[in-house]
Structure 1
Amino acid sequence: MVIVLALSIAVLAGVSSWFLQQSASRAYERYRNAFKKEATARMGEFFLFLDPAQLWLANLALCGLAAALVYIASGPLWLAAAAGALALLAPQYSIKQLRRRRLRRFDEQLPDLLQALAGALRAGSGAQGALRHIVAQSPIPLAQEFGLMLREQRMGVPFEQALAALYLRMPTEGTGLVVSALQIAAQTGGGLAETLERIAATLRARLHLLGRVRALTAQGRMQAWVMACLPLVLGVVLAQLDPDSMRVLWQTPAGWTVMALIAGLELLGVFFIRRIVDIQV
């Protein structure tokens, strides 16, 4: 009877391990394919054409290095696994932050381009010729995006389709206004210079208001980061001052439960603070 029970437990453990391995393998493949697809699309937006397979290997190397360093420095295996998981997710978060910054810089540069384009139109220049001359002297990322649009047009892509592709790459409110104005002007004509000047004035007023909002909410954003980092700093300091007492927190199931609860509450607090200070204009 004991032998049968032991064999049953062994078979159950083997089957469970096989299913767990298969699930982990499928999850790994899904995440790797999603990472490569996302990296290819996002790197293309930054005009960086890198091999997604090499980026994936670099991400895995970063994950392993972070886990090894944390394990050597602290000792708990679960903490090293958490550090490796964070390192695995960090590149996607960084890419999203860089894309958000790129969109913001594009919006900041857009009013100057519109003002220069309106001046060129009032001087008698054509819209596409003036746009080509202005884009050649514009900073990045505006020069890259409008330059790609003009190259697509020279290769035979219709002007309206090239504008629509520009809006897909840079889906901001300012880009939508500019694309709509240029499409209408290309189809019907009319006072494009005056329209562009009004759009430029509207975008400048909006950017000024966004700057004021960011300045007024800077303290709230800093409060979120201070609240998130303070327990970590305090834990490191207490571990150096009284390692025997802190060992209960690092090396016992009760301590792990407390840390998981603290991490959950910290993330919840940061989420709510950032939602409060994220004012849409």
Structure 2
Amino acid sequence: MSLSIILGLAFFGIIFLIWIVARMGTSTVKAGSRQMVGEIESSLADAFVFVNRQKMAAWSMVAIVGLPILALLLSHSIIIALATVPIALTLPKKYLAHMRKKRIDTLEKQLPDALLMLSGALRAGASFPTALEAVVHEAAAPISQEFDLLMREIRLGIDLDVAMRNVEKRIPVPDFMMVTAAVSIAREVGGNLAEALESVARTLREKLQMEGKIKALTSQGRMQGIVMTCLPLFLMLVLRFMEPKAMAPLFNQPVGWATLAVISIMEFLGYKSITKITNIDV
């Protein structure tokens, strides 16, 4: 494909994207855009991540517009450029999921130390709200933010069981259910809450150590999955630039498009299979 054709396609693509942006003045598109951005902003706020709505919408539009154009300029294929549109549309939600997962992983690592601090305060004779306040002041975010919100709910008169269940909804971690169970049992039946929390903290710490060992042992398999997935795509791009005539039917003919579709499906299934094998839940 000649340079003039590529520039012409890029020009028409830009004109088409400008037309789409202009059409965004309609009420339906604006309402849909506001709803999507509002959902993302609300989810980020639940994770104590506050961003500007206008900046989020602008960066989402840049990803949706820029990725297909970049794919068109690199691959010289409209099919590949169109194939990147669904990826660009899912990028904001993928980024949100990554941020939430990172926060949850940090919470899991901080939870045993926070429970030991809470247990120590209870052993020193402090009440449960006072011990929570000590953890809020001493611990780092994000665990301090969650315990601070728990403490505020208790001060507002919300029942402790209800407040703990609210924390479970914000922290979808099975480990925190053990904390809720320990607090509920100590409250209803009686017993040493400090000792129960210390036992839960030891169990969670041992679980984290086991998960770390498993992650280290399966790191080679995960890296092999990434390399084996990216290697065919890298070779295809190299051959595209080294032998453009030989690779042209793969991008310009229906048989080549079907081949690319099969390759994409097989690559996706292979990567998912390797990820499933190396993902060992404790």
User: Normalising by structure 2, what TM-score?
Assistant: 0.83
Counterpart check, 1:161 vs 2:190: no
> Matches of 2:230 and 2:32 in 1, distance apart?
29
Aligned residue number for residue 170 of structure 1: 171
Q: Do the aligned partners of 2:114 and 2:135 also contact (CA within 8 Å) in 1? A: yes
The one-character-per-residue Cα deviations of 1:53-79 (angstroms, maximum 9, x if unpaired) are 763453233111111122223222121
Q: Do the aligned partners of 2:178 and 2:200 also contact (CA within 8 Å) in 1? A: yes
The one-character-per-residue Cα deviations of 1:98-125 (angstroms, maximum 9, x if unpaired) are 2122111101111111111111111111
Unaligned runs of 5+ residues in structure 2 are 1-28
Counterpart check, 1:63 vs 2:64: yes
3-state SS of paired residue (1:280): coil
> Matches of 1:37 and 1:185 in 2, distance apart?
40
3-state SS of paired residue (2:76): coil
3-state SS of paired residue (2:140): coil
> Matches of 2:140 and 2:107 in 1, distance apart?
9
> Matches of 1:42 and 1:230 in 2, distance apart?
36
The one-character-per-residue Cα deviations of 1:175-230 (angstroms, maximum 9, x if unpaired) are 11112222333344420111011101100110011111111111111122112111
Q: Do the aligned partners of 1:39 and 1:52 also contact (CA within 8 Å) in 2? A: no
Aligned residue number for residue 259 of structure 1: 260
Q: Aligned-pair distance for 1:32? A: 5.2
Q: Do the aligned partners of 1:118 and 1:197 also contact (CA within 8 Å) in 2? A: yes
Counterpart check, 1:78 vs 2:106: no
Aligned residue number for residue 91 of structure 1: 92
Q: Do the aligned partners of 2:153 and 2:163 also contact (CA within 8 Å) in 1? A: yes
CA RMSD of aligned residues (A): 2.3
> Matches of 1:151 and 1:270 in 2, distance apart?
45
> Matches of 1:153 and 1:105 in 2, distance apart?
24
> Matches of 1:254 and 1:30 in 2, distance apart?
40
Q: Do the aligned partners of 2:136 and 2:147 also contact (CA within 8 Å) in 1? A: yes
> Matches of 1:131 and 1:57 in 2, distance apart?
40
Aligned residue number for residue 25 of structure 2: none
Counterpart check, 1:190 vs 2:183: no
Q: Aligned-pair distance for 1:276? A: 1.1
Q: Which amino acid aligns with 1:236?
A: L
Q: Which amino acid aligns with 1:237?
A: V
Q: Alpha carbons of 1:201 and 1:95: their partners in 2 closer, same or farther (altered >3 Å)?
A: same
The one-character-per-residue Cα deviations of 1:155-182 (angstroms, maximum 9, x if unpaired) are 3322222111101010212211112222
> Matches of 1:134 and 1:216 in 2, distance apart?
34
Q: How many residues align?
A: 256
Q: Alpha carbons of 1:38 and 1:112: their partners in 2 closer, same or farther (altered >3 Å)?
A: same
The 5-angstrom pairing of residues 213-228 of structure 1 reads 213-228=214-229
The 5-angstrom pairing of residues 1-281 of structure 1 reads 35-36=36-37, 38-50=39-51, 55-281=56-282
Q: Alpha carbons of 1:86 and 1:210: their partners in 2 closer, same or farther (altered >3 Å)?
A: same
> Matches of 1:50 and 1:111 in 2, distance apart?
30
Q: Aligned-pair distance for 1:49? A: 3.7
Aligned residue number for residue 15 of structure 1: none
> Matches of 1:30 and 1:266 in 2, distance apart?
37
Q: Aligned-pair distance for 1:86? A: 0.8
Q: Do the aligned partners of 1:35 and 1:56 also contact (CA within 8 Å) in 2? A: no
> Matches of 1:256 and 1:205 in 2, distance apart?
51
Which of 78-87 and 229-238 deviates more? 78-87
Return the structure number with greater relative CO, CA threshold 8 A, min gap 6.
2
> Matches of 1:230 and 1:220 in 2, distance apart?
15
Q: Aligned-pair distance for 1:52? A: 5.3
> Matches of 1:54 and 1:155 in 2, distance apart?
35
Aligned residue number for residue 19 of structure 1: none
> Matches of 2:123 and 2:41 in 1, distance apart?
41
Q: Do the aligned partners of 1:60 and 1:88 also contact (CA within 8 Å) in 2? A: no
The one-character-per-residue Cα deviations of 1:118-172 (angstroms, maximum 9, x if unpaired) are 1111111112101111111211110111111112222332222211110101021
